Structure 1
Amino acid sequence: MSRAYAAFTETGLALAETLARALPGPVTRCGHGGPSLAEWTAAAFAQNEALIFVGAVGIAVRAIAPFCRSKASDPAVVVVDECGHFAVPLLSGHLGGANDLARAIAALCGAVPVITTATDAHGLFAVDEWARHHNCQVLEPERIKTVSGKLLAGEPVSFWSEFPIAGPAPAGVNAAPAPEAADFALTLSPAGNALHLTPRIGVLGIGCRRGTTAEQLEAAFSVFCAAHTLAPQCIAAAASIDLKQNEAGLLAFCAAHRWGLSFFSAEALQTAPGSFTPSAFVRNVTGVDNVCERAAVLASGGSIHIPKQAGGGVTFALALSPFAPDWRVLS
């Protein structure tokens, strides 16, 4: 988590610097020769995953108000009074991790974490916080309130998962008999009206002809996802052979999706464990019988989920990194 600290007095600055030694991030004293509060907030809000104001809650509220957009995208915002008595999460308590950050700050300086989210106040399961702890993308943030609202009303909620989940389910959370009966679902292939939590565990293996454009790759990717009812949000990274490391279209395609892109030599790809779809043509061109499946496996440390799919001079395969969801992560 990238963090940035703002302080306004010598006392606040000292506390911010102390916190930053344990929870790293740049520390700025606004005004007093530094940037204005508005300037600092505009830059920090756009560039960081968490903002920590050391000062009064009112100062932080007025500072962040022009920039708040959505619980799905806003950074975590925590306020700590300059004497270190209270740590207050203001924004993105669950999805952004502000509640956890406030607890961590409180543990460092002896503060009281002031957690006001309703599920936490009542000691109930928070589906969005559980999702964040498992690196899941919440596909429909507006549906979080449906799940939380039922729990707060004393009603049970149902879940469906295509992955085994360790531990006993939280109170009020029961298994659904089918995906369409679930209130929330842990899945790579969302369908229906549930709240869908998609783990970002996919690595997309890519093969392509020389000169393939980003637009061609994007079109092929759309077809690939549609054919497998795959949520594209599940993909966290991409991989290919090192012969493609200067392909402008491939680089632009991955950059547009903000995927890290790994390249492997033919020799390294040969070492990938498992069985793969062989191609004599690919072997003649690259020195290895399969690029996309082998690259995905090596980059993921896991196994193939969707084997090689070819079309329009592009091949894709999807491998999944090891994933072990656990109900007890919030215990």
Structure 2
Amino acid sequence: MTRAYLAFTEKGLALAQKLASALPGTVDRCGHGGPSLADWAAEQFAHADALIFVGAVGIAVRAIAPHCRSKAVDPAVVVLDECGHFAVPILSGHLGGANDLARALAAVCGAVPVITTATDANGVFAVDAWARHQNCAVLEPERIKRVSSRLLAGGPVRYRSEFPVARQAPAGVVPAGEAERADFALTLFPAGDALHLIPKIGVLGIGCRRGTSAAQLEAAFAQFCAAHGLAAVCITAAASIDLKAHEPGLLEFCRIHGWPVQFYSAAQLQNAPGQFTPSAFVRSVTGVDNVCERAAVLAAGGTIILPKQAGNGVTFALALRPFAPDWRWQDA
């Protein structure tokens, strides 16, 4: 988490520096040669994961108001008074992690964390906080309220998961029966009207002809996802053979998606563990019988879940990083 602290007085600056020594981040003081409030808020709201104001809540509210978009994308915002008595999360308490951050900041300076989200106030399971702790994307943030409201009303919510979830499920959270509708689902393949939580554990293995454009790769990727019902947001990285390390289309395709891409030699790919779909043609060109599956496995350190799909000179395969979810939804 990238953090940015802003203080307004000498006393507040001293507290911000103390907090940053425990929970590192940039520290600025508004005025006195430092940034203006408006400039600092605009810059940090766009680039930081968390904004920590040491001052009045009203100042923070006015500063961030023009930039707020949705709980799915807004950073965490926490305010501490300059005496360090209270730590108040005011934005993105769950998905952005502001509640956990407020607790952590409070522990540093002896403040009281002022947590006002209904699920926390009532000691109820927070599905969006759980998603964040399990490194999952929330596909339909508007459906969070439906799950939380049902728990707050005392009724059970039903879930499905493609992965075993360790520890005992929280009160009110029960597995959905075979014929029952799930309220939320931990899945890579969303379907239906449940709240879908997508683990960000996928690595996309890529093979392509020389000169393949980013647009061609994008079209093939859309077909790959549609063919399998895959949530593309599960993918966080890509991999291929080092022969493609300077392919402009492949590099641009990965840049557009924000994926780091790793490249492996034919010898490295040949030593990847597992069973793969062989191709004599691919071996004749690259020196190894399969690029996309082997590269995905090496980069993920896991196993293939979607084997090679080929079309129009592009091959894709999906491997998953190790994933062991549990029912934790708050920092210890």
Q: SS of the residue aligned with 2:93?
A: coil
> Relative to 1, partners in 2 of residues 1:180 and 1:269: Cα closer, same or farther, differing over 3 Å?
farther
Q: How big is the shift at 1:266?
A: 1.1
Aligned-partner Cα distance in 2 for 1:181–1:207 = 39
Aligned to 1:220: 220
Q: Does 1:120 align with 2:120?
A: yes
Deviation at 1:328, TM superposition (A): 3.7
Q: Which residue of 2 aligns with 1:41?
A: 41
Query: Which residue of structure 2 aligns with residue 260 of structure 1?
Result: 260
The answer to whether the 8 A contact 1:84-1:111 is kept is yes
Letter in 2 for 1:72: A
Distance in 1 separating the partners of 2:132 and 2:329:
11
Distance across 1 between alignment mates of 2:321 and 2:288:
23
Question: Where in structure 2 are there 5+ consecutive unaligned residues?
Answer: none
Question: Equivalent residue of 2:250, what SS?
Answer: helix
Distance in 2 between residues matched to 1:99 and 1:14, nearest whole Å: 23
Q: TM-score, normalised by structure 1?
A: 0.98
**Is contact 2:129-2:329 (8 Å) kept?**
no
What is the match of residue 63 of structure 1? 63
Instruction: Please give the residue correspondences for 1:115-264 in structure 2 after superposition, counting only pairs within 5 Å.
Output: 115-178=115-178, 181-264=181-264
- Give the corresponding residue for 2:275: 275
Equivalent residue of 1:307, what SS?
A: strand
**Amino acid aligned to 1:80:** L
Instruction: Verify the 8 A CA contact 2:130 2:328 in the aligned structure 1.
Output: no
* Residue matched to 2:79: 79
SS at match of 2:46: helix
Q: How far apart in 1 are the matches of 2:266 and 2:219?
A: 27
Q: Deviations over 1:275-317 (max 9, x none)?
A: 1111111111111111100000000010000001100100000
Question: Is 1:286 matched with 2:286?
Answer: yes
The one-letter amino acid of 1:202's match is: G
Deviations along 1:161-219, one digit per CA (max 9) or x if unpaired, are 11111111110011112487100000000011100000000000000000100000000
Tell me the SS of whatever aligns to 1:154. coil
Q: Secondary structure at the match of 2:33?
A: coil
Deviations along 1:67-108, one digit per CA (max 9) or x if unpaired, are 001000000000011111111101000000000100110111
Kindly indicate whether the alpha-carbon contact (under 8 Å) linking 2:55 and 2:80 is maintained by their aligned counterparts in 1: yes
Q: 2:66 corresponds to which letter in structure 1?
A: P
**SS in structure 1 of the partner of residue 105 of structure 2:** helix
In structure 1, what is the equivalent of residue 95 of structure 2?
Answer: 95
2:126–2:329 contact (8 Å) kept in structure 1: no
Report the Cα distance in structure 1 between the residues aligned to 2:59 and 2:328, rounded to whole angstroms. Answer: 37
Deviation string 1:34-86 (CA, Å, 9 cap, x unpaired) is 11100100000001111000111111011000100100000000001111111
State the alpha-carbon separation in 2 of the partners of residues 177 and 237 from structure 1.
Answer: 34
Equivalent AA in structure 2 for residue 239 of structure 1 = A
Residue 314 (structure 1) aligns with: 314
Secondary structure at 2:246's aligned position in 1? coil
Q: Which deviates the most, 83-92 or 172-181? A: 172-181
Letter in 2 for 1:237: A
Instruction: Establish whether residue 25 from structure 1 lines up as the match of residue 40 from structure 2.
Output: no
Between stretches 77-86 and 171-180, larger displacement belongs to 171-180
> Aligned equivalents of 2:188 and 2:79: distance in 1?
36
Task: Measure the CA separation in 2 of the matches of 1:57 and 1:151.
Answer: 30
2:151, 2:157 within 8 Å by CA — same for their partners in 1?
Answer: yes
Q: Percent identity?
A: 76
RMSD between superposed Cα atoms in Å: 1.1
In 1, Cα distance between equivalents of 2:286 and 2:179: 42
Equivalenced residues, count: 331
Distance 2:227 2:139 in 1: 19
CA distance in 1, matches of 2:270, 2:44: 44
- The code of the aligned residue for 2:232 comes to P
Q: What CA distance in whole angstroms lies between the structure 2 residues aligned with 1:29 and 1:3? A: 15
